[in-house]
Amino acid sequence: MMPPRLPVLALLALLLGGCATTTTVVREEPAPVAGRAVPPSAPAMGVAVHRVQAGDTLYGIAFRNNLDWRALAAWNGIAEPFVIRPGQLLRLTPPAGQRPPATVAGRAPEPARPDPRPEPATPPPIPRGPVGAPAPATPVATRPAPAPVEAAPPPAVAEAPPAAQAPAGGPGFRPGQWLWPTEGQVVARFAEGDRSRQGIAIAGTAGQPVRATAAGTVVYSGAGLVGFGELIIIKHDDQWLSAYGHNRRRLVAEGATVAAGQQIAELGRTGTSRDMLHFEIRRAGRPVDPLPLLPRR
């Protein structure tokens, strides 16, 4: 008799125990359906998982793996305020058959809107008599034609001025809504699909101000993401993030609310060979080229 199959989480814990890395890929077998055996040829799927370490945050893990933090929360059943604990296992891929969610876990979706099209009117029943017999004529009462009345001109209505259209959303939807995070020359540019060039590098002098490119909330402030040095991540809305790496000193803590242009760090070279700022803008977890969004100078 075969021993019972270990639960998925227990299997992941066994596979990950003692590993030096925090992210790995395991095999996830299809869940059995009641009354139906899984065929031996059913393929298993690779599932990337991350074991939470001290100092990890949901936003930091999503940033490191180029994921939308909303999707990462939904895949792991994490609701606001998105608390994670050391030793917790987080899957970095969606469950089988599930698409990336459009809403955050724990938030109700928008109610369905009624169909604005009117329902077709039901035609009146057609009276039917014996086959071959003419239908009886319906008597119609004759009414005298009303006397013509001269229509009064409609009252003059002043035209309302057109309403001003609000921006389509948060910062970054139009070029120029972001601010430059620091002064200096751009020495490295964004390259689509290149994991080593997911933002821009701005050369400067050690200690010069690094400022928030737009208003938002600090969701990461630390040095736990390898390759970014002293890093700050700011959440601007549910889709947009900005990141500031290689700072000499961080001046804001996680949870702080910052204004556009507020100094958040001092430029430095933690994790790089020269004084420079690594700057990224991400939408729904995906890096975008910051230069078209920043003001021309």
DSSP 46: E
How does residue 13 score in pLDDT terms, banded at 50, 70 and 90? very low
- Cis peptide, bond prior to residue 81, ω within 30 of zero: yes
Position 184: which residue type?
A: G
Please name which of 202, 218, 198 lies closest in space to residue 210, comparing C-alpha atoms: 202
**Per-residue model confidence as pLDDT tens digits over 175-203:** 668 999 999 999 999 999 888 899 999 99
Q: What is the pLDDT of residue 132?
A: 47
Please give the model's pTM, rounded to 2 decimal places. 0.63
- Residue 203 pairs in a beta bridge with 185, 276
Half-sphere exposure of 157 (CA within 13 A, CB side): 5
Calculate mean pLDDT across residues 115-141.
48
> Percent of the chain, pLDDT > 70?
58
Calculate mean pLDDT across residues 103-130.
43
Q: Which of 20-24, 198-202, 217-221, 238-242 has the lowest mean pLDDT?
A: 20-24
**Per-residue model confidence as pLDDT tens digits over 214-234:** 999 999 999 999 899 999 999
Q: What is the pLDDT of residue 231?
A: 97
Which CATH topology does 8-28+44-91 take? Membrane-bound Lytic Murein Transglycosylase D; Chain A (3.10.350)
Which CATH topology does 185-288 take? Glucose Permease (Domain IIA) (2.70.70)
The greatest distance separating any two alpha carbons of the chain, rounded to the nearest whole angstrom, comes to 103
Cα→Cα distances 59→25, 47, 182, 188, 255, Å: 20, 20, 23, 25, 12
CB under 8 Å to 260, separation ≥6 — which residues?
171, 179, 212, 213, 214, 215
Q: What is the pLDDT of residue 158?
A: 42
Cα–Cα distance, 181 to 260 (Å, whole number): 9
Please report, for the chain, the start and end positions of each structural domain, with discontinuous segments joined by +. Answer: 8-28+44-91, 185-288
3-state secondary structure of 75: helix
Buried b (16+ CB within 10 A) or exposed e, 84-122: beeeeebbbbeeeeeeebeebbeeeeeeeeeeeeeeeee
Q: What is the pLDDT of residue 193?
A: 84
Distance of alpha carbon 56 from its chain centroid, rounded? 20
Give the number of other CB atoms < 10 A from CB of residue 41: 5
Residue that has been written with the tokens 């009414």 in this structure: 143
